[in-house]
Chain A
Amino acid sequence: MDRVLVEHARRGDRDAFASLVHQVSDSLFAIAFRILRDTGLAEDAVQDALISAWRQLPRLRDSDRFEAWMRRVLVRACYAESRRGRDAKTNVRFLDLLGSSTSDGSRALADRDEIERAFRHLPLDQRSVFVLHHYIGLPLIEVAETLGIPAGTARSRLHYATRFLRSAMAPGAVLPIEEGRLA
């Protein structure tokens, strides 16, 4: 991330901030979607995160930490969006890809569908750790720093998320079928 650009934006330069937005927004959107599992909520979360980041940017003391700080703002925006999204039912129903096929391709698809369903049952704080660790590839210590939580908390959230997903995907596991926006 361009430190000078961050410094300019921190000092009120909207053009500089717009440049930063163009640099980070795809990544933020990808993270938000993977946490919220809903395009509309993810778009709203990114929008709120960008506005609040602009608002709070002068308080960012270390310009080198912009990206991590931005992710933290985004995750908080995701929390807010998920609360807002609970009431917005969209009647999305996911195809059941679990079938009798045992080919590798079908098995992989089935596994992914199982993860999708199970993931939607995770609390948002566990989803955030899971996405930042497995999708962004952040070490747990950086996940903790990004989210502003102790490293042990990040570790335990990842542990519980992984354990739940694995157990939910075990043969015979039953998950309720989701109808609507789950977050």
Chain B
Amino acid sequence: MHTLDKDDFAPDFVLQTIEGQSVSLQQSLQGKNSILLVFLRHLG
């Protein structure tokens, strides 16, 4: 399986906020110069 790396295009996703609102990556890109995705560890 190919591991995403620099210059690849990021796969789209749809996730929910804690309020239950659906947010997609593509939607988030609109009108923005860049996206910073921060993947957390556990919240403990």
Same complex: no
Tell me the B residues contacting A by CB distance below 8 Å. Answer: none
Residues of A bordering B, CB below 8 Å = none
